[in-house]
Amino acid sequence: MSRRTSCLIANGLSITREGRVLLKDVSVEIKPAAITLILGHNGAGKTLLMRALHGLIPPDEGTIHSPPASRQRMVFQKPIMLRRTALQYFKFVCPGLRISDQHSWFDSAQLISQLDTPARRLSGGEQQKLALIGALAAQPKILFLDEPAASLDVEATMLIESLIAKACDAGTTIIMTSHNRAQAARLADQIIFMDHGSVKEQSDAKTFFQAPQSEAARHYLAFT
């Protein structure tokens, strides 16, 4: 895959901390306007890889070719809520939108009744939806999502998945982690499978779930 047909290319990324290798010679290519799921057991390096790709953690070795930071957004598993109302938070992270557009985003996330609620008093699911629409409204080229539906109920999960799918259809490249195999199967166009800080497999989702090539991936799928 060339840079013309990739939204992001990373080559030979390695990160070592206190003598421990956390990422080892990781190379990935991300398709544009597609949903890429990074899968693996706890401690495999999924979130660390995303943070490195987003530029939050500089690798000790390797290179990353990606859109500028201004065209990227990341939503963490536990979003940081400011001491503002939900609407004030949204305006802060995505300034300049018309009031009608602001309300449209809140309506899309079923948060229209929470405009004046302090962001920190929203439920966990509501905070996650608020952080997501704040990122999406900025129309990023790449959106990184760390477990965007972790611990949410089925209704909230389906809504978040719908927002993610619509953003991808509109041209945003999605890179996300998930422990939910069913969610990965529903959403993913591409899978990056990690084990002990290394990428063991990168393929389209159908191939990964039907015919994984690595022993580590086959073991993961057998027990998830």
Q: In order of start, what are the domains of the chain with their CATH numbers?
A: 3-222 (3.40.50.300)
Alpha carbon distance 83, 153 (integer Å): 26
Amino acid 128: pLDDT: 94
Q: Collapsing DSSP states into helix, strand and coil, what is residue 109? A: coil
Q: How confident is the model at residue 189 (pLDDT cuts 50, 70, 90)?
A: very high
Mean pLDDT value across residues 20-48 = 97
Residue 17 in this model has a pLDDT that exceeds 90 = yes
CA atoms within 13 Å, Cβ hemisphere of 21: 11
Give the pairing type, strands 8-17 and 72-75.
unpaired
- Residue 127 neighbours by CB under 8 Å, 6+ apart: 79, 81, 119
Cα-flanking dihedrals φ and ψ of residue 127, to 5°? Answer: -60, -40
The pLDDT value recorded for residue 4 is 54
- pLDDT (0 to 100) of residue 150: 86
Whether residue 67 is predicted with pLDDT greater than 80 in this model: the reply is: yes
pLDDT at 173: 98
Nearest in space to 134 (alpha carbons), one of 167, 175, 165, 162: 167
Backbone φ and ψ for 90, nearest 5 degrees, come out as -60, -45
| Reported confidence tier of residue 130, pLDDT bands at 50, 70, 90 | very high
Q: Report which DSSP code applies to 70.
A: G
Beta bridge partners of 36: 175, 190
Neighbour-count burial of 214, counting CB atoms closer than 10 A to its CB (0-12 exposed, 13-18 middle, 19+ buried): middle
Q: Please tell me the predicted confidence (pLDDT) of residue 10.
A: 98
